[in-house]
Amino acid sequence: MRDFQQPERSEVFSSNGMIATSHPLAAKIGLDSMSKGGNAIDAAITAALMLVLCEPQSTGLFGDAFAIIKSKKAKGIIGLNGSGKAPMALTSDTLLSRNIKEIPLESVHSVTVPGAVSLFEEVADKFGNLGLKELCTQPIKYAEEGVVVSPRVSFDWELNSKKLLGSSAKFYLDSGRPYKAGSLFKAPMQAEVLRQIAAHGSKGFYQSDITTDLVSSLKEFGGVHSLADFENVKVQYVDPTYAELKDGSTLIELPPNGQGLTAIMMKKLMQFCNIDRFSAGSFERVHLEAEIAKVAYAARNNFIGDPNFSEVKQNIFLDDAYLEQLSREVSVGKLLNDNLEDEFFSRNKDTVLICAADSAGNAISLIFSTFHAFGSGLCSKKYGLLFHNRGAGFVLKKDHPNELMGGKRPLHTIIPAILQEKNGSIMPFGVMGGQYQANGHARILSNIKDYGMGFQEALNFPRSFYFDGVLNIEKGYKKDITEKLSKVGYTVQEASIPIGGAQLVRVDSSGVLIGASDPRKDGCALGY
């Protein structure tokens, strides 16, 4: 039990329904849908549509989504991949011939076709109770009337406003300035988009005048997108990946093109390195986690791509004997190379997240994103839909598993997850935060499993993240730990923004629902 004299938040307990997400209004609208006869799946979808308005810097209708679902209407755990593909006319050769070596984050070439709306329709129709038309009702109302900007959203808006130019400035700046906390953000044209989705389902987005606006705007920016690229969008059912942890619980992630395998690899390596022999806030834990991240993210970068185009070497991420052998490369006082290539492995064998559950046995982890803050910064001319920049996840290296090809999905950072316990408890969870997400899954599970933290405590605890040559450390760590990390050889910097934002809902074996929400965001867990 937490110290009630400390300025922290408690877990939320309920018996009928629970939702956790990064904005309180989205959580409320989601919970309302459950009280009106909807289930956890309905709650997650309508909350996701609300977050388009509540957190426009993090997500949008022109985004991608993934979901893991436990539904009373189906057998087993269901995985859905709602990530979009590169336009058919775009290839790595196209860009290399223009002397482009890396896809710019704010380029039209980073814009893949969005898949989220197709996922929302499929999930609402197959696993919800209310239908997509009803789930759009409140988001339409708030798009017209406006949403009051919250503090964390305002912080992100200010930080990333310089990329909002042209049409983006018209729709997403307040008289040329970032929206401040307490100001009212309206999106009447997005209300029109939501009306078409409500009336016609995904066809109202992918085969309508909205599509014409999207394609014509992309072409103006120099894109090669076509109406056919949008007409052919369809969410893909995928078989989740199951990984047993040392206590007998099971971590469930989605297969590539996401980085769920990376999260599994990190958690397994933590086990094999016996990371729990060191205290939760110790130099040694941060150090080992950084080295494990180097290994796991290098494996991701070398081997993960769209499995429809090339085979993913899953044994590198899942084989316990191999991972135990690989863990011997990680030790206190040793720094691995920042750029681990294939040879290393051959020696050894800005995003929103909604978690919801209900008393009927439904549970969902849904993640939905435009990748970087405000995506590419580019926007459709008529309806003001921000274009995500997921295509920046491709590489332009020939014969690489993640090489850019027309009709191919890029490596994705966003990943939902579910943890199943031997006693029947189930916990949909996830972490927002771009590249951090795989590390975040492993860190939160380690906090709970290795260090015995409560669910809210596990989300509150300070974070670190090693990526691209820099070890970022949140303010919660003691100064001497930072000094030790510098002495061992890391480039250490205090995190300029909070690292990630997590949500979780636990359905206990007794049927009690427990929710926790990351204080790094404005959101909350709500139950009834």
What's the pLDDT tens digit per position in 432-476? 988 999 999 999 999 999 999 999 999 999 999 999 999 999 999
Separation in Å, CA 76 to CA 177, 345, 365, 372: 48, 34, 15, 33
In angstroms, the CA 260 to CA 258 distance is 6
Contacts of 76 by beta carbon, 8 Å cutoff, 6+ apart = none
Q: Which residue type sits at 396?
A: L
In angstroms, the CA 288 to CA 470 distance is 15
Q: What is the DSSP string of 450-496?
A: TT---HHHHHHS--EEEETTEEEE-TTS-HHHHHHHHHHT--EEE-S
Q: State the distance between the two ends of the chain, measured CA to CA, in whole angstroms.
A: 22
Which residue is listed with tokens 């969005």?
114
- Is the confidence at residue 336, as pLDDT, over 90? yes
Q: What does the pLDDT average to over 105-133?
A: 97
- Is the confidence at residue 302, as pLDDT, over 70? yes
In angstroms, the CA 517 to CA 184 distance is 24
Contact 401, 303 (CB under 8 A): yes
Sign of the Cα torsion 213, 218, 223, 228 reads negative
- Is the confidence at residue 185, as pLDDT, over 90? yes
Half-sphere exposure of 12 (CA within 13 A, CB side): 23
3-state secondary structure of 117: helix
Q: Give, for 68, the enclosing helix (H) or strand (E).
A: strand 64-70
Q: What does the pLDDT average to over 12-21?
A: 98
3-state secondary structure of 183: coil
Residue pLDDT, tens place only, 50-62: 999 999 999 999 9
Paired residues of 368 in beta bridges: 65, 352
What is the percent of the chain with per-residue pLDDT over 90, rounded to a whole number? 93
- Is the confidence at residue 1, as pLDDT, over 90? no
Q: What pLDDT score does 55 carry?
A: 97
Q: What does the pLDDT average to over 475-490?
A: 94
Kindly report the backbone phi and psi dihedral angles of residue 201, in degrees, each rounded to the nearest multiple of 5, phi listed first.
65, -150
3-state secondary structure of 198: helix
Nearest residue to 368 (alpha-carbon basis) of 17, 62, 143: 62
Nearest residue to 252 (alpha-carbon basis) of 412, 445, 433, 396: 445
Q: What is the DSSP string of 468-480?
A: TTEEEE-TTS-HH
CA 160 to chain centre: 19
Confidence of residue 5 (pLDDT cuts 50, 70, 90): confident
Q: What pLDDT score does 347 carry?
A: 54
Q: What pLDDT score does 156 carry?
A: 95
Written as six digits, the tokens of 268 are 């397994």
Q: What pLDDT score does 2 carry?
A: 72
- Is the confidence at residue 346, as pLDDT, over 80? no
The DSSP bridge pattern shows strands 464-467 and 184-185 to be: unpaired
Paired residues of 354 in beta bridges: 366
In angstroms, the CA 258 to CA 415 distance is 6
Written as six digits, the tokens of 198 are 């409500």
Nearest residue to 216 (alpha-carbon basis) of 378, 377, 88, 381: 381
Which residue is listed with tokens 């459709």?
380
Helices 479-488/283-303 angle, 10° precision: 50
Half-sphere exposure of 468 (CA within 13 A, CB side): 4
CA torsion 422-507-130-186 (nearest 10°) is: -130
Written as six digits, the tokens of 363 are 């549970």
Written as six digits, the tokens of 247 are 């206590």
Contact 97, 104 (CB under 8 A): no
Q: What does the pLDDT average to over 296-307?
A: 95
Residue pLDDT, tens place only, 491-510: 999 999 999 999 999 999 99
Q: What does the pLDDT average to over 315-334?
A: 95
- Is the confidence at residue 349, as pLDDT, over 60? no
Confidence of residue 348 (pLDDT cuts 50, 70, 90): very low
Residue pLDDT, tens place only, 140-174: 999 999 999 999 999 999 999 999 999 999 999 99
- DSSP code, position 336: -
Nearest residue to 255 (alpha-carbon basis) of 399, 115, 411, 420: 411
Q: What pLDDT score does 343 carry?
A: 72
Buried b (16+ CB within 10 A) or exposed e, 347-363: eeebbbbbbbbbbeebb
Task: Indicate the length of the chain as a whole number.
Answer: 528
Mean pLDDT of all residues belonging to the chain: 95
3-state secondary structure of 234: coil
Residue pLDDT, tens place only, 211-259: 999 999 999 999 999 999 999 999 999 999 999 999 999 999 999 999 9
- Is the confidence at residue 97, as pLDDT, over 50? yes
Helices 116-127/188-200 angle, 10° precision: 50
